[in-house]
Every structure is written in C-alpha cells, then in structure tokens.
Amino acid sequence: TEISVVNCAKNNMVVAKAELEIEPTFLNLGPNHFAVGINNSIWYYSWQSQANALTTNQPSVISLSCRREYFGTIKQVVMNEQWTAVLSEGKVSLHLIEDESAPDIRFPLGNGDPAIVYIAMADSFLMLIDKTGKLSYYLIDDQAFILEHQSENPLVKVFPNKTGTKCICIDSTGHGYMLNPVDESLIMIPNFQSDTESVLWDTEDQNLFVTVASTMMHTYLYLPLTLEGPQIVHLPEYLRLDEVDK
C-alpha cells in the first residue's frame, strides 16, 4: 500500500510518498507526521522534514519514524508538531512522536475518574471530553490542567483552532457554540447543523471557519468587536462570482 501527501495549494502536487507495511484501517495527517494503523497498533511517518517537493518538483520517499502499540482498539488519533494522543478503551496515551524513550502521560489521571470519550489537540493543548460531557484543557508543556468546562448539556465534540484560543463545541442536543478558554465566554453559532461532523479553521483568517455536515458546508465569521459585543455571522452562500458584489 502506498500513501501520498498532496499539496492542494500547488495544484495537488505530490510532496511525499511512503510504502506501508500494512493495509491500514485508519489514517491521520498531522503538521509533520501522518499515522496509519490497525487494531491497537500505529505506524508514524515523518513527512514534513523530508518533503523536498515543497521546494522541488520531486516527491520525497519517506520512511517509518516509529511503531507503537496501545492498550486496546484505537478510536482516535490527534497530533501536533511533536506530540500525539491516542484514545483507546476510554483511556488516552499522550507521548512524543519521535522520542520513544520519554514516558507516556496517561489519562484519566485518577482510577476513579470518568472515561475519556473524545480528544482534540492544538499547538500546546490537549482537549479531553469525559463521559459526563466535561471538557478539560491540558497544557502539555506544563503537564497541568488549566481549564475545566461543564456546559448545560454534555459536550460530544470540540474543534479548536491551531493555537487553541478558540474552540467550537458541539453538545448532545446538536447545538454549536464557540468557547473562549481565557474567560469561558460562549457565543452561539447561528443556523448550526445538528449533523455537523467536522469544523475547518481558515489558515489565513483566524476568525473564519467552516462547518462540515454530511451534505453541506457552512461558512462563519467571528467578529470580536461589534456594537452588540462579540458575534458569529453566518456568511451567505454565493452561487456565482458576480453575486459577491451585490
């Protein structure tokens, strides 16, 4: 099996390729690595450091960085530039991708703490949702929890921006809102689709994001300063370019 990393901004140019040892059941792409796995095993490949095609026209052939086995069937894998977190059987293992000698950090920390059901990761933070629907922010460098947020309805998914300073939350009723982790303020998202599966943050405009449902995508703009206070605006749908000026 061959995996290709494609740069969509450069006419779908293939920047790196890897020959896999397995036929994976899941694949996750991170800023510097991608992970493929099956059952309780993950193979990590470093594509960014060897992606010479970012500056040349020839794709790089990348090799395996490491292989890890976890404590049960893997449900989720999230990565940032250096760290990976793996959710399996209600537990999370957080560790450095390249340094196999460093000890893993395991969650939940206490034996009596609720099981973890969902994870997400930003530059410096790991976000965990437990089975009660509580969201916890974990600062990786300090190895400490800095925020616990319990909404009126249990949370089921969160989608932070790259830095973790804004976080789209979806609760058990299908409603969506933006959480500011600094002051725990909440802003409801208008016309939010209850079947939203993912949220994509714009890499250039940090206040722009897109929600992705089964058949629809919706674009929103966060306005931090208005006469009525911070707001989220549902941007109109343009079917033709000439409608943009109207």
DSSP string for residues in 58-118: S-EE--EEEEEE-SS-EEEEEE-SSEEEEEETTEEEEEESS-TTSPPEEESSSTTSPPEEE
pLDDT category at 51 given cuts 50, 70, 90 is very low
pTM (predicted TM-score): 0.88
Q: Give Rg (Cα) of the chain.
A: 19
Report the b/e string of 58-78 with b at 16+ CB within 10 A: ebbebeebbebebeeebbbbb
Least confidently predicted of 135-149, 176-190, 226-240: 226-240
Average pLDDT over residues 101-129: 92
Least confidently predicted of 23-37, 63-77, 184-198, 232-246: 232-246
Q: What is the pLDDT of residue 104?
A: 93
Residue 9's SS3 state is helix
Q: Give the chain's end-to-end CA distance (angstroms, integer).
A: 49
pLDDT category at 239 given cuts 50, 70, 90 is very low
* Environment class of 175 (CB within 10 Å of its CB; exposed 0-12, middle 13-18, buried 19+): middle
Model confidence pLDDT, tens digit, residues 4-23: 888 887 888 888 888 888 89
Average pLDDT over residues 32-48: 91
pLDDT category at 168 given cuts 50, 70, 90 is very high
Model confidence pLDDT, tens digit, residues 194-235: 999 999 999 889 999 999 988 888 999 999 988 888 999 998
pLDDT category at 244 given cuts 50, 70, 90 is very low
